[in-house]
Amino acid sequence: MASTDHAATVGEEFRRGWKIILVAAVGLGCGLSALPIYSTGVLTKPLTLAFGISRGDVQSVYTWMTIGNLIAAPFLGIAIDRVGVRKITLISVACLSIGWAMMGLAQSLWQLYAIGFALSVFGVGTVPITWTRVIIDWFDKGRGFALGLALAGTGIAAVLLPIYTTWLVTNYTWRGAYVGIAALPALLALPLSYFLLHDRTGSAPTQAPRVEQKSDAEFSEVLKSYHFWVMNLAFFLVGACVAGLISSLVPILTDRGITPASAAGVASIIGVTVIFSRIGTGFLLDRFWAPGVALLLLSVPAVACFILASGIGGIPGAMIAAASIGLAAGAEFDVMSFIVGKYFGQRRYGIIYACLYAVFKLSAGVGAPVFGYSFDANHNYNFILYVAAVALVAGSALLLALGPYRIVGSHTPEAQPAK
């Protein structure tokens, strides 16, 4: 149980930083980690009809956005370490909104690709690298819970954005839908960021200066540390499997005779579970050793793999599988953000997290097609599901090799593994 002094400190952090959590949650829900993935499904059919292209061609718009993110992420990390979050975020949110509206003006598939790539480069400041950095700066004792609350913004987007996009397409066609989606960062994230988002520099009277630990690592040191490479491998394995499961869930269920409507309903459970997982994971990270929490939550979809491979339980079993996938999907960014701060500190958080984020995005781009190719080769998903079950447990267990937190003053007795 946390001590009275610890609880008082957490209370002070949240009284000072609740506005930062609010703007980060809205920014994440209106940013590149949410808008493309949760709107593309609804826009796919209208775009195939408008341009006479395949669904794969439409889905490749997201691939070009991912490529743009991968290229821009390291530069973003370096920039926020040097100039802070506020300036970059304001520019990126504005660019994202303009780019998303321009998608509605596209006259060809290649214009969609080009605009998608450009908006992901210039709007890269809306990904979790920036929003988690500002949370890390403003929170210490309550950092995990603060991260969970902020990252829950993507879970809310997962629930609401498909409904909103469907309404826009129905009433204003796909072109109007892009403009309507562009309004979200312009009308919500941009004004909140302008008025509420501040780097913790000590320049404002209500802000305490950010404290850098003497043990904060330089990036050159990080590259030589086995901790960094363990994190990359672990999150690549977990990210690929979770992305593959999410993208393949509906086809797996419909192959077993479940109707498309019922399968979509089951899949929606993932979004709801993500919200609770984000908050719950943050709560656990503040109280227990992060790699242990990661093993508990990130390995849970292994259960989903066995349920989906066997078909046991019918729709109720599928709902349990979807919930377990949502638990891991909600925990990934919480754990990643938290352990970067605990093992490497804040001085070079931006570039370190950017590298991990790039690898994670790459894993998502690999995982989905690997599941599809496995089906093409075997005429079912069973083989890849069993492989994924092993990879999920192995990837989660790898994080146990990180050992005790490395940053002085960043741990509590409860957070340490037994020596």
Instruction: Give me the residue label for tokens 């590259």.
Output: 223
Q: What is the pLDDT of residue 104?
A: 94
- 219-408 matches 4-196 in CATH topology: yes
Burial 229-266 (b: 16+ CB within 10 A, else e): ebbbbbbbbbbbbbbbbbbbbbebbebeebeeeebbbb
Cβ(116)–Cβ(332) below 8 Å:
no
State which H helix or E strand residue 134 sits in.
Answer: helix 128-138
CB neighbours of residue 214 within 10 Å: 8
Tokens of 337: 């953000």
Q: What is the pLDDT of residue 414?
A: 37
The CATH number of the structural domain formed by 4-196 is 1.20.1250.20
Q: What is the pLDDT of residue 6?
A: 55
Q: What is the pLDDT of residue 407?
A: 67
Tokens of 262: 């019922």
Report the alpha-carbon angle 50-54-60, nearest 5.
100
User: In whole angstroms, what is the distance from residue 333 CA to residue 326 CA?
Assistant: 12
Burial 38-74 (b: 16+ CB within 10 A, else e): bbbbbbbebbeeebeeeeebbebbbbbbbbbbbebbb
Instruction: Count Cβ atoms within 10 A of the Cβ of residue 83 and give its class: 0-12 exposed, 13-18 middle, 19 or more buried.
Output: exposed
pTM for the model? 0.77
**DSSP tag of 32:** T
Dihedral sign (CA 137, 143, 146, 152): positive
Q: What is the pLDDT of residue 284?
A: 94
Domain positions in the chain are 4-196, 219-408
The segments of the chain whose pLDDT lies below 70 read 1-8, 41, 55-56, 59, 201-215, 407-419
Dihedral sign (CA 355, 359, 361, 365): positive
Domain 219-408 has CATH 1.20.1250.20: yes
